[in-house]
Amino acid sequence: MTNVGIVGGGPEDMIPALYMYNENMIWIGADRGNLYLLNQRIIPNYAVGDFDSITKDEWKKLQTKVKNIKTYPVEKDQTDLELALKRAIDMNPEQIYMFGVTGGRLDHELINIQLLYQLSNLNGQIRGMIIDKKNHIELKRAGVHIVEYDEKYGNLSLIPQTPQIKNLTLKGFYYPLTNATLEFGSTLSTSNRLIGKKGTFSFDEGILLVVRSDDVHE
């Protein structure tokens, strides 16, 4: 199984311990995300970006550590994270993890989450995930989806991303649903959890953002 991990330049304190995901992982750093990888003693396989967020000394450090660096002009049509994502997609992996893309500026966070649409458009060929210390985020299209219990991310919300979610059914959840219709902006399927080790949710039309959260206060 080929997995790609992308680390962006979001707040470093939101990035989990990456060694937990390091097995068989190809790492791509987006701009300052390369320094975050190095700080966790991981050498990026690829570094991409305009590198406008790092100092001259940090740039020299990066050049001595990373063999494959692709630089882009500051004025460009794509963000550094999107460039990293396209590089990852070209590898045709089974899974893409994105770290360091939440917790900072809200506009950046929202557009980074929307990058999951690019992966969802690939007809399920690549599973895309955004992970930080408190959240695990995926985008799901219509179909039947299995959810396994995760002690770290016990709270689960299904958030509509389209005008309607049709025939949403939840099985194995504390708050079940049967053939429910969710309108955009509905909170009906938020703050749920599994009652066992596994559950399923299915729907016939629409797109859902699946947010699994750690609701334990630090």
State whether 105 and 10 are in the same domain.
Answer: yes
Burial class (CB in 10 A: 0-12, 13-18, 19+), 164: middle
pLDDT surpasses 90 at 77: no
pLDDT reading at 218 higher than 80: no
What's the CA angle centered on 63, arms 57 and 66, to 5 degrees? Answer: 135
Q: Tokens for 171, please give them.
A: 């099985």
Q: Taking 50 as the threshold, does the pLDDT of residue 46 lie above it? A: yes
- Are residues 205 and 181 part of one domain? yes
| pLDDT value for 105 | 85
Are residues 189 and 177 in contact, defined by beta-carbon separation less than 8 angstroms? yes
Q: Which pLDDT value is given to residue 1? A: 72
Confidence label for 217 from pLDDT (cuts 50, 70 and 90): very low
Answer yes or no: is 119 within a domain.
yes
Who wins on pLDDT, 46 or 2? 46
The pLDDT, as a whole number, for residue 2 is: 86
Mind listing the pLDDT tens digit for each residue in 172-204?
A: 999 999 999 999 989 999 999 999 999 999 999
Range of the domain at 8: 3-133
In the predicted structure, residue 104 carries a pLDDT above the cut 90: no
Domain-located, residue 115: yes
Is pLDDT above 70 for 90? Answer: yes
Are 89 and 144 within one domain?
Answer: no
Q: Which of 210, 189, 47, 32 is nearest to 127 (CA)?
A: 210
Residue 149 DSSP code: -
Distance CA 80, CA 115 (A): 12
Residues 101, 154: one domain? Answer: no
pLDDT tens column, 122-169: 766 899 999 999 999 999 999 999 999 988 888 999 999 999 999 999
Average pLDDT over residues 116-126: 81
State the CATH number of the domain containing residue 112.
3.40.50.10240
Q: Mean pLDDT for the chain?
A: 92
- For residues 85 and 171, state if they share a domain: no
Q: How confident is the model at residue 64 (pLDDT cuts 50, 70, 90)?
A: very high
Q: Is 134 helix (H, G, I), strand (E, B) or coil?
A: coil
pLDDT value, residue 116: 92
Place of tokens 């958030």: 159
How would you classify the pairing of strands 135-148 and 69-71? Answer: unpaired
Work out how many domains the chain is built from and give that number. 2
Same domain, 93 and 149: no
Same domain? For 121 and 163 the reply is no
Confidence of residue 214 (pLDDT cuts 50, 70, 90): confident
Measured between alpha carbons, how far is 84 from 98 in angstroms, rounded to an integer? 10
Q: Are residues 206 and 146 in the same domain?
A: yes
What torsion, rounded to 10 degrees, do the Cα atoms 138, 140, 145, 149 define?
20
Q: What is the pLDDT of residue 216?
A: 60
Q: What pLDDT is attached to residue 123?
A: 67
Rounded to an integer, what distance in angstroms lies between the CA atom of residue 31 and that of residue 117?
A: 22
